[in-house]
Structure 1
Amino acid sequence: MTVKLSNLKPGSKARRRSRRVGRGNNASDPGTYSGRGMKGQRSRSGGKKGLKIRGLRRNLRSMPKLKGFNKRKSLSIKPISLKDLENKFKENEIVDLAKLVKSGLIKKKDRRVKILAQGKITKKLTIKAHQFSKAVEKAVKKAGGKIVILSDKIELKKR
């Protein structure tokens, strides 16, 4: 057998076992300091945990304990049917988010609205909403009304 790099193997006990420290004090075991140094608070058990930088200690205590990850809540779309608009609003009225809240069809926190084609509409209405189904667009135009699509961006109040 020829000696090549691919044939070479380490001999038995060629790799020395690492020294395990901190396993008690016997005459034969090197267990005393375990990398912690000699005396003092940091060498004792539980000693290093409580130490903080003195100036930051009070600030760290007053910080809130924020744990975990809070997923940003997506804006849900509130569906409204045509029959509700037919029942709640009068002829030639402008239907926007404020009037939908006032009529009780949506809550104030509902930010996006989609109009769905359940029922029929005969009144001429101007409807402002974020989304419309295609059947609603046809039905409202057939009744003589208008559709205004609102943007999905939340409008911030100016100070």
Structure 2
Amino acid sequence: EAAELSGETFVQLLNKGRECDMQVTLAVQTLTDLEVAMGGMAPARMMVGNAAHLLVFRTLDAESCRTLNDRAGRVQIQKRQAGTTAPAPRYWWQGQPRAGAMLQRQWQEVPLIPEGWLTRLEDLHYLGFFSGQGVIWGCLPRLRVPGKVK
């Protein structure tokens, strides 16, 4: 739990740690926990921003969702629409049918994580922000005690 370790010294360690190939993974419930521990939202955001890896489980805190969506960034997607028309003649003497086709391509910039998606993650599902690897969606395995039934 990052809120237990947080402090100005730890933030400095995060800032300088990348130069030494030190990578830190933070586990946090909400940014509010860090805000209380650090004494403000700016140091809490700085702490999250300097972590090499970040695992995010479901969170209902709107501010946490906004910050994590900002960290994930935006991507370009291509929206394509295609259509054809081919009306058949009603009678044989009306001649050849006419046909038409349409192809439309449009680029859009959208958030990588859709708005509100972090509030709907299932139990044990997470988003992992990994330094140099991008964003990964995964699920932790359920551990079972041998010899016990659910």
Short-chain TM bin: under 0.3
Larger radius of gyration: 1
In the superposition, the TM-score normalised over structure 1's length comes to 0.24
Higher helix share: 2
In the superposition, the TM-score normalised over structure 2's length comes to 0.25
